[in-house]
């Protein structure tokens, strides 16, 4: 974690009342490294969205801390916070809600430039906008005057990415960036994220419930359940040799065209589902290394 | 603005805007439309409509048509003036309350509820009576200061729902200052609601001003449609058969209200595409009838 | 195919506009055999949901099923049914589960009352008999009968979806249409529900028309698959054949766009 540009250190966040707490995050620790993608997978309610919101500072941790370049964020002054905001950007799930319907594409890309590079004059700004649009493989002349409703879902998502890149961030949090796009468009967006990561040395946090795409983009993966990271490490190792019962359950349930219903392991797991869920939700501070760069929090039996 | 362009294509809007424009033009060009002064005695009392006096005369011998066209100025001025004030106060407070939340929201809500709970017309009656003969300006000010509460409610609730959207979060993450977010990210999405609120406030202001003056709380020396009603009522115009005295301002108010209401329906239709019927439904029904298809 | 449960021939559906019409479904024909699990796949706007709605005649203007279209369920001409016949046709011959079916349960009625409503509308049945039948049906979908007295908001999303499926099966329909029934659910719940449906259709013998955009799921669960593109049915075949040896260029492109969970990863063929 020492060279992680952004890290969560033992972060916990609880919602709800004292008698009915909801553990959105429990002792969550992970780091994002430049040039690498970390996938965060889990079902709804697992806490992956909470992790994103903690990073975007929509919530503050109840316990633990966020570290940016090694410095805890809680102690940061206003200047450091502004630098943080420019360094960490988000790409949202819903391409239709991510852009303001009353503003042109040009406006959407101009604002971040005005805010974070105020010294640019009008001509330089236009050049910067054109460069951003070209980078996300869109035609600047065609798209700058358009409004969001004139664009397709895939185009809108590219604009979202361009907007995130406009402030020269070091970290991008992509929260289910392709789940609301058509299948034939998804790969283009994922490839774009990969290219940007490679070219700009970005640290990418890729949040998804679609584990196959996580395998496509991420070197490392974390499986989350009930606010805890139950298994994490090298993507191939975790996906080909899952050790935690919940991960196994999840993987056997993922639609896999190569395996028909009858010949998968899911039927065996059916009886254990309730048990696995209950046990995996119990707090487990112990961690265990099961292979090189492959760890679990063992499920209490 | 695309809303404006869409308005121009909507039949209801066109009729409403035409009516409104006509009334505004009549008000502006009043001196050219009649040679009579609205406050000078120019004929015998209660003359029926004739070529000399298109809408007849009042009990004091004033030309009704002249009073009507000059009176339009006052009614429009109070209507739009108060309407603007009501809308601005309501919108600004509503957006701030909805976006900022917390203590600011509580405070604004508290005052809004207070103003909402007080019944509007009785309050206006008391205020107007207290002030004595309230000139149109005074009436406009009173209306502006007491009628904004409903607008705050509507704007605030719409703001609350927009506030959650990803593009607002994105602006916050970029570090946009709050005032910019409220003015440029949230407000442009509220234009339809604000527009409807504005037109509704204008209608309200026009009618309420006329009401107050009709009840005798206005300044009787003003030339406005409300005062015309007041005078006609005092002169028992209907009983003595001088129907033009009363009906002229009534009709004028009704037509103005109609024009504004049509514009409002049109804005609503444009903002909510599900309300649009028109061309599509006609074609569809025709095709079903000739057997080209079915549901 | 002899005696298909569903037979669609030359189906054309347009959405009528003020000036132009949108051709949502263009000359689509296919059959579903008794007991078959048929998947209709395609991206958004391809017309698959439009077809599903047409079979139950649930469309509203501006949708229009064009002259010359034919929809037969169990040999009966669905497009010729009048209102009364339609009422008995729905639920009894064909039942439909929607994507937001979880939200189509009446929030102010208990589960038991919802069953009773449907059963009573189609047969003379007493409250007690309805309760027994409802308990039976809930057992089919692995829900305990003491849920009968609950309200929808007291049940989880997955449970509500299963309740809707149970209600759909109440009158033993020949055809169950499911329009993205598990898209809003988590993958484990999705798997449980679909596995249940698979078992049930083998037991009870109904056919399933399954609509989704999740192609991997479709191959896993269907007997035959139809691929739709912009209103046209471009390929129809057994699931495994379509998966391993797709014929149409669009189908090939779809498979090339899906990252694989196991085995050799797809090449980054698609440009970014």
Of A173-187, B249-263, C255-269, the poorest mean pLDDT is in: C255-269
**Partners of residue C6 on adjacent β-strands:** C32, C73
With cut-offs at 50, 70 and 90, classify the pLDDT of residue A1: very low
Q: What three-state secondary structure class fits C241? A: helix
Stretch B226-240: mean pLDDT: 88
Question: What burial letters (b/e) apply to A88-114, b meaning 16+ CB within 10 Å?
Answer: bbbbbbbbbbbbbebbbbbebbbbbbe
Cis peptide leading into residue C192 (ω within 30°): no
DSSP 8-class letter at B1: -
Pairing status of strand A220-225 against strand A37-41: parallel
Beta strands in chain C (DSSP E): 6-16, 21-32, 37-42, 63-66, 70-73, 76-77, 94-97, 175-179, 207-212, 224-229, 232-238
Residue C193 has pLDDT above 70, yes or no: yes
The tokens for B157 are 């609730």
pLDDT score of B37:
84
Within chain B, where are the H helices? Answer: 2-8, 11-28, 30-33, 64-100, 102-117, 120-131, 136-146, 149-163, 166-174, 178-180, 191-214, 225-234, 243-271, 279-289
Q: Looking at the complex, report in whole angstroms how far the Cα of residue A140 sits from the nearest Cα belonging to chain B.
A: 21
CB contact under 8 A, C60 and B279: no
Alpha-carbon distance A90 to C82, whole Å?
Answer: 54
**Which residue on chain B is closest to C58 by alpha carbon?**
B295
Residues in chain B closer than 8 A to C60 (CB atoms): 295
With cut-offs at 50, 70 and 90, classify the pLDDT of residue B125: confident
Triad B295, C4, C5: Cα angle to 5°: 55
The tokens for C171 are 């009158």
Stretch C207-222: mean pLDDT: 90
Alpha-carbon distance A287 to A294, whole Å?
Answer: 11
Cis peptide leading into residue A296 (ω within 30°): no
pLDDT score of A263:
53
pLDDT score of B273:
66
Q: Would an 8 Å CB–CB cutoff place C65 in contact with chain B?
A: yes
pLDDT score of B207:
92
Residue pair B225/B217 in contact (Cβ under 8 Å)? The answer is no
CB contact under 8 A, C192 and A270: yes
Please give the helix or strand (H or E) that residue A93 lies within, else none: none
Alpha-carbon distance C241 to C258, whole Å?
Answer: 17
DSSP 8-class letter at B218: B
Closest CA to C254 of C48, C51, C43, C46: C43
Instruction: Show which of residues 194-213 on chain C sit within 8 Å of chain A, judged by CB atoms.
Output: 194-195, 198, 213
The tokens for A155 are 């185009």
With cut-offs at 50, 70 and 90, classify the pLDDT of residue A268: low
How far, rounded to the nearest angstrom, does the alpha carbon of residue C56 sit from its chain's CA centroid? 11
Residue pair C101/C177 in contact (Cβ under 8 Å)? The answer is no
Q: Would an 8 Å CB–CB cutoff place C153 in contact with chain B?
A: no
Stretch B141-167: mean pLDDT: 91
Of A32-36, B48-52, B130-134, B187-191, the poorest mean pLDDT is in: B130-134
Closest CA to B218 of B147, B137, B144: B137
pLDDT score of B283:
82
pLDDT score of C270:
47
Alpha-carbon distance C214 to C231, whole Å?
Answer: 18
Residue C196 has pLDDT above 60, yes or no: yes
Residue among C10, C11, C18, C56 with most chain B CBs within 10 A, to mutate? C18
Helical pair B120-131 and B136-146, crossing angle rounded to 10 deg: 140
What does the pLDDT look like over C90-114, one tens digit per residue? 888 899 998 877 678 888 999 999 9
Class of residue C92 by CB neighbours under 10 A (exposed 0-12, middle 13-18, buried 19+): middle
With cut-offs at 50, 70 and 90, classify the pLDDT of residue C33: very high
pLDDT score of C70:
92
Contacts of B231 (CB under 8 A, 6+ apart): B58, B59, B60, B220, B245
Pairing status of strand A228-234 against strand A220-225: antiparallel
Alpha-carbon distance B220 to B140, whole Å?
Answer: 16
State what percent of residues in chain A have pLDDT above 90: 59
Question: What burial letters (b/e) apply to A250-283, b meaning 16+ CB within 10 Å?
Answer: bbbbbbbbbbeeeebebeebbeebeebbeebbee
Alpha-carbon distance B143 to A34, whole Å?
Answer: 61
Radius of gyration of chain B (CA): 23
With cut-offs at 50, 70 and 90, classify the pLDDT of residue B13: confident
Residue B6 has pLDDT above 80, yes or no: no
Residues in chain B closer than 8 A to C56 (CB atoms): none
Residue C44's CB is within 10 A of a number of other CB atoms, namely 12
pLDDT score of B21:
93
pLDDT score of B178:
92
Residue pair B126/B157 in contact (Cβ under 8 Å)? The answer is no
For chain B, the distance separating the N- and C-terminal CA atoms, rounded to the nearest angstrom, is: 38
Q: Looking at the complex, report in whole angstroms how far the Cα of residue B169 sits from the nearest Cα belonging to chain A.
A: 9
The tokens for A30 are 């992970």
With cut-offs at 50, 70 and 90, classify the pLDDT of residue C224: very high
What does the pLDDT look like over A106-136, one tens digit per residue? 999 999 999 988 899 999 999 999 999 999 9
CB contact under 8 A, B189 and A100: yes
Torsion of CA C78, C81, C87, C93, to 10 degrees: -30
CB contact under 8 A, B280 and C14: no
Residue with structure tokens 């409403």? B16
Residue B1 has pLDDT above 60, yes or no: no
Q: What three-state secondary structure class fits A242? A: coil
Residues in chain A closer than 8 A to C42 (CB atoms): none
Residue C68's CB is within 10 A of a number of other CB atoms, namely 12
What does the pLDDT look like over C242-259, one tens digit per residue? 999 999 999 999 888 888
Instruction: Show which of residues 35-54 on chain A sit within 8 Å of chain B, judged by CB atoms.
Output: none
Residues in chain A closer than 8 A to B175 (CB atoms): 82, 85-86, 115-116
pLDDT score of B105:
95
**Partners of residue C32 on adjacent β-strands:** C6
The tokens for B128 are 């107007």
pTM above 0.90, yes or no: no
Alpha-carbon distance A116 to A170, whole Å?
Answer: 14
Question: Interface partners of C (3+ CB pairs, < 8 Å)?
Answer: A, B
State what percent of residues in chain A have pLDDT above 70: 96
Residue among B10, B280, B285, B291 with most chain C CBs within 10 A, to mutate? B280
pLDDT score of A239:
93
Instruction: Show which of residues 128-187 on chain A sit within 8 Å of chain B, judged by CB atoms.
Output: 160, 163, 167
Closest CA to A296 of A251, A252, A259, A241: A241
Reported as half-sphere exposure (CB side, CA atoms, 13 A), residue C251 has a value of 23
Residues in chain B closer than 8 A to C65 (CB atoms): 293-295
| DSSP secondary structure letters along B135-183 | -HHHHHHHHHHHS-HHHHHHHHHHHHHHHTSHHHHHHHHHT--HHHIII
CB contact under 8 A, A86 and B175: yes
CB contact under 8 A, A257 and C219: yes
For every residue of B178-213, which 3-state class applies, written as one string? HHHHHHHHHHHHHHHHHHHHHHHHHHHHHHHHHHHH
Please give the helix or strand (H or E) that residue C253 lies within, else none: helix C249-256
pLDDT score of B2:
61
Alpha-carbon distance C134 to C201, whole Å?
Answer: 18
Triad C32, C33, C37: Cα angle to 5°: 70
Q: Which residue among B278, B279, B292 places its CB closest to the CB of C66?
A: B292
With cut-offs at 50, 70 and 90, classify the pLDDT of residue C11: very high
Residue A67's CB is within 10 A of a number of other CB atoms, namely 18
What does the pLDDT look like over B78-107, one tens digit per residue? 999 999 999 999 999 999 999 999 999 999
What does the pLDDT look like over A53-66, one tens digit per residue? 999 888 889 999 99
What does the pLDDT look like over B39-79, one tens digit per residue? 888 888 888 888 888 888 888 888 889 899 999 999 999 99
What does the pLDDT look like over C44-66, one tens digit per residue? 889 999 999 999 888 888 888 98
Tell me the pLDDT of chain B averaged across its residues.
Answer: 87
Of B123-127, C68-72, C122-126, the poorest mean pLDDT is in: B123-127
DSSP 8-class letter at C233: E
Residue C121's CB is within 10 A of a number of other CB atoms, namely 14
Contacts of A119 (CB under 8 A, 6+ apart): none
Stretch A271-279: mean pLDDT: 84
C265 phi and psi angles, rounded to 5 deg: -75, 150
State what percent of residues in chain C have pLDDT above 70: 97
Closest CA to B210 of B46, B120, B76, B117: B76
**Which residue on chain A is closest to B189 by alpha carbon?**
A102
Pairing status of strand A171-175 against strand A88-91: parallel
Residue pair B101/B58 in contact (Cβ under 8 Å)? The answer is no
């Amino acid at each position: 974690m020492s060279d992680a540009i952004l890290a969560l250190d033992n972060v916990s966040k609880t919602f709800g009342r004292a008698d009915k707490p909801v553990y959105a995050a429990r002792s969550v620790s992970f780091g994002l490294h430049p040039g690498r993608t970390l996938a965060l997978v889990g079902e709804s309610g697992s806490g992956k969205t909470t992790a994103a919101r903690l990073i975007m500072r929509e919530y503050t941790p109840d316990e633990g801390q966020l570290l940016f370049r090694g410095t805890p964020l809680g102690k940061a002054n206003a200047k450091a916070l502004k630098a943080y905001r420019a360094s960490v950007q988000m790409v949202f799930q819903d391409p239709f809600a991510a852009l303001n319907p009353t503003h042109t594409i040009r406006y959407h890309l101009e604002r971040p430039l005005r805010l974070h590079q105020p010294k640019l004059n009008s001509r330089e700004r236009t050049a910067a906008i054109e460069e951003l649009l070209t980078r996300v493989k869109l035609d600047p002349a065609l798209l700058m005057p358009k409004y969001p409703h004139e664009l397709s879902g895939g185009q809108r998502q590219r604009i979202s990415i361009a907007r995130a890149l406009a402030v020269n961030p070091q970290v991008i949090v992509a929260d289910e960036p392709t789940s609301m796009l058509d299948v034939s468009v998804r790969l283009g967006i994922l490839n774009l994220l990969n290219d940007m990561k490679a070219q700009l040395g970005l640290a990418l946090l890729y949040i998804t419930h679609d584990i196959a795409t996580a395998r496509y983009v991420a070197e490392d993966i974390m499986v989350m359940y009930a606010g805890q990271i139950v298994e994490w490490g090298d993507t191939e190792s975790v996906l080909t040799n899952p050790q935690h019962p919940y991960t196994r359950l999840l993987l056997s349930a993922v639609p896999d065209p190569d395996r028909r219903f009858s010949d998968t392991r899911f039927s065996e797991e059916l009886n254990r589902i309730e048990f696995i869920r209950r046990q995996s939700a119990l707090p487990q501070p112990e961690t265990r290394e099961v292979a090189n760069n492959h760890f679990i929090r063992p499920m209490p039996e | 603005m695309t809303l404006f362009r869409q308005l121009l294509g909507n039949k209801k809007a066109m009729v409403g805007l035409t009516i409104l424009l006509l009334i505004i033009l009549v008000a502006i060009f009043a001196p050219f439309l009649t040679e009579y002064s609205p406050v000078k005695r120019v004929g015998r009392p209660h003359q029926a409509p004739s070529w000399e006096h298109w809408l007849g005369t009042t009990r004091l011998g004033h030309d009704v048509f002249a009073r009507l066209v000059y009176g339009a100025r006052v009614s429009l001025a109070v209507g739009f003036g108060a309407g603007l004030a009501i809308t601005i106060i309501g919108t600004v407070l509503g957006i701030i309350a909805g976006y900022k939340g917390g203590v600011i929201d509580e405070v604004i809500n508290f005052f809004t509820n207070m103003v909402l709970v007080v019944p509007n017309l009785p309050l206006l009656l008391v205020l107007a009576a207290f002030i004595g003969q309230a000139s149109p300006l005074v009436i406009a000010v009173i209306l502006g200061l007491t009628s904004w509460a409903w607008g705050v409610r509507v704007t605030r609730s719409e703001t609350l729902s927009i506030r959650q959207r990803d593009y607002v979060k994105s602006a916050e993450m970029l570090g946009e200052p709050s005032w910019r977010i409220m003015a440029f990210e949230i407000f442009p999405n509220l234009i339809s609601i604000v527009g409807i609120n504005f037109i509704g406030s204008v209608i309200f202001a026009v009618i309420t001003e006329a009401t107050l003056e009709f009840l005798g709380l206005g300044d009787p020396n003003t030339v406005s449609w409300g005062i015309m009603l007041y005078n006609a009522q005092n002169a028992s115009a209907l009983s003595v058969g001088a129907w033009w005295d009363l009906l002229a301002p009534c009709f004028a108010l009704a037509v103005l209200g109609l024009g504004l209401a049509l514009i409002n329906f049109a804005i609503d239709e444009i903002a909510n595409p599900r309300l649009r019927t028109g061309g599509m439904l006609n074609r569809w029904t025709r095709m079903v009838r000739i057997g080209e298809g079915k549901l | 195919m002899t005696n298909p449960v569903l037979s669609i021939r030359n189906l054309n559906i347009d959405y009528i506009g003020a000036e132009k019409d949108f051709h949502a479904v263009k000359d689509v024909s296919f059959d579903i055999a008794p007991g078959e699990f048929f998947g209709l796949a395609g991206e958004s706007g391809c017309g698959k949901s439009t077809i599903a709605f047409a079979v139950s005649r649930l469309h509203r203007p501006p949708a229009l099923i064009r002259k010359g279209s034919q929809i037969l369920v169990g040999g009966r001409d669905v497009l010729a049914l009048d209102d009364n016949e339609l009422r008995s046709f729905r639920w009894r011959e064909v039942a439909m589960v929607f994507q937001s079916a979880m939200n189509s349960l009446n929030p102010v009625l208990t589960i038991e009352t919802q069953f009773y409503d449907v059963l009573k509308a189609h047969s003379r049945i007493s409250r007690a008999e309805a309760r027994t039948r409802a308990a039976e049906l809930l057992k089919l979908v692995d829900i305990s009968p003491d849920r009968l007295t609950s309200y929808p908001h007291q049940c989880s999303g997955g449970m509500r979806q299963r309740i809707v499926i149970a209600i759909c099966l109440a009158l033993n329909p020949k055809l169950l249409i499911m329009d993205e029934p598990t898209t809003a659910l988590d993958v484990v719940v999705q798997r449980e529900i679909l596995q249940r449906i698979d078992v049930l259709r083998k037991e009870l013998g109904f056919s399933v028309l399954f609509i989704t955009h999740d192609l991997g799921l479709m191959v896993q669960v269907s007997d035959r698959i139809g691929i739709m593109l912009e209103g046209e049915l471009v390929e129809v075949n057994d699931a495994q054949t379509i998966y391993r040896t797709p014929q149409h260029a669009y189908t090939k492109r779809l498979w090339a766009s899906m990252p694989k969970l196991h085995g050799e990863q797809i090449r980054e063929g698609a440009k970014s």
